[in-house]
Amino acid sequence: MRTYLAVIDDKPEARIALRFAARRAAKTGGGIAILALVPAAEFVQWSGVQAAMEEEERLRVEGMVTEAAGTLIKETGLTPDIIVRQGDPVDVVREILGQRDDVAALVLGAAAEGGPGPLVAHFAGADAGTMRCPVMIIPGSLTDEALDRLS
C-alpha cells in the first residue's frame, strides 16, 4: 500500500500538511503514517531531572499525535500508523524512509510566514536529489477549502 508520511508538530502548518496527506491517502486508496518528533531535552546536570523532562515532553507529543490521529480518523476513516521518535529530525526522517518501502511521499508543512523549517530546508535542499520518494511541501497559508480542492 502507498503510504504518505506526514511529519507533525504543534505548528499550524503541520496540521495543514497532515490534512493534505490524509485526504490524498483516502482518495488514492493509500495509508498514512504520522511522525511526531520529541525534541531532546537540554542537558541538565542531574540525569533524573533530565529523564523526567524528556518523559514529560514525550507525553506531550504523544497527546498531540493522538489528538491529530483522532481527527484524521473522524474525517477520512483512515487509521494512521503513529510513529513517535526522539532524535535529530533529519536523521529520524532518513531512518524511517530507509526502513519503510511503502512510503510514497514525505509530506511537510511550510510556514505561512518566515523561512522554512529545518526539515523543509533540508529535504527540499541538500537531500532533494537523493530522495527515494517525492517530497510534498504544503504551504501553511492554504485554507481547508483550498486543501480540499487540491487534494
DSSP string, 100-138: -TTEEEEEEEE-SSSS--HHHHHHTTTTGGG-SS-EEEE
**What domain count does the chain have?**
1
Residue 42: per-residue pLDDT: 59
pLDDT greater than 80 at residue 85: yes
Residue 38: per-residue pLDDT: 80
Structural domain span for residue 132: 3-150
Q: Is 79 helix (H, G, I), strand (E, B) or coil?
A: coil
Q: Which three cell numbers stand for residue 41?
A: 531535552
CATH number at residue 142: 3.40.50.620
Q: What is the pLDDT of residues 17-72, one digit of tens each?
A: 999 999 999 999 999 999 998 876 555 566 666 666 667 777 777 777 777 777 87
Residue 123: per-residue pLDDT: 93
Q: What is the pLDDT of residues 87-135, one digit of tens each?
A: 899 999 999 999 999 999 999 999 999 888 889 999 998 888 889 999 9
Q: Which residues contact 129 (CB under 8 A, 6 or more apart)?
A: none
For residue 140, what pLDDT band results from cuts at 50, 70 and 90? very high
